[in-house]
Amino acid sequence: MHILFDQADLRYGERIALHPLSLELTDRRIGVIGLNGSGKTSFARLVNGLAKPSHGRVTLDGLDTVTDEKAVMAATGFIFQNPGNQIILPIIRDDIALGPKSRGLKGEALDQAVDTVLTRFGIADLASRRPHELSGGQLQLAALAAVVVTEPKLILFDEPTNQLDLKNRALVKAAIDSLSEQAIVISHDLDLVRDFGRVLVFHEGRLAFDGAGEVAIARYLEIAAC
């Protein structure tokens, strides 16, 4: 998707979460790094319309996140920091089916769509399980399957490997790498975005650097050391 920030900012009263930003993004993989409170999540929430710009505008393939909110939400998927809060039905299979079902898919087509994503992420054996029975990595994969099944063009990940052990982290990284969809990955896990062609570094609500993974990480480490 062609993501365009046109002098878009985000304010909560006097507090500026993100200063005016103008930016164009078309890359298949985009990393977003920065210290806590640097504006990373505000940036992601502006992209998919969960937050509306206080000034300026954000468009995705020409769709305005304010006036075309539903179309923007339908074209994007969001994986939250806590995937447990994203899985909203008690059985994994039912939860994955919820998105396509609310878009009108039913019967065999619905079953087939759910089976396809379960197999794609290697979690077919978790279909009848309950969320609290799953590990952090399995929860992330289930949340990802529930998003991918609705066929978004762009998927945003908000710290997807947060609190995961090495094994689960590798599972999630492999799943992200395998995606054919465009992805924006916000992460404190620098290895996750190291290979990305484009990584944005945010600092104190401003875009501090925009470039390839290795260089962006070096810049971020300089900022963090100050």
Task: Give the binding site for another protein (CB under 8 A).
Answer: 48, 50, 70, 73-74, 76-78, 80, 82, 84-91, 94, 97-99, 102-104, 128, 130-132, 146-147, 150
Nearest CA to 74 among 179, 141, 184, 151? 151
Q: How far is CA 101 from the centre of its chain?
A: 22
Q: Quote the least distance from Cβ 60 to another protein, whole Å.
A: 14
Indicate the residue among 24 and 111 with the shorter CB distance to another protein: 111
Indicate the residue among 135 and 194 with the shorter CB distance to another protein: 135
Q: Quote the least distance from Cβ 139 to another protein, whole Å.
A: 12
| Beta-sheet strands, E only, within the chain | 3-12, 15-25, 29-34, 55-60, 63-64, 76-79, 154-158, 182-186, 198-203, 206-211
Helix (H, G, I), strand (E, B) or coil at 45: helix
Q: Quote the least distance from Cβ 218 to another protein, whole Å.
A: 33
C-alpha to C-alpha distance for 106 and 188, rounded to whole angstroms: 39
Indicate the residue among 16 and 98 with the shorter CB distance to another protein: 98
Q: Quote the least distance from Cβ 73 to another protein, whole Å.
A: 5
Indicate the residue among 50 and 201 with the shorter CB distance to another protein: 50
Indicate the residue among 18 and 143 with the shorter CB distance to another protein: 143
C-alpha to C-alpha distance for 196 and 182, rounded to whole angstroms: 12
The single-letter DSSP state of residue 39 is S
Q: Quote the least distance from Cβ 148 to another protein, whole Å.
A: 11
Give the pairing of strands 15-25 and 3-12: antiparallel
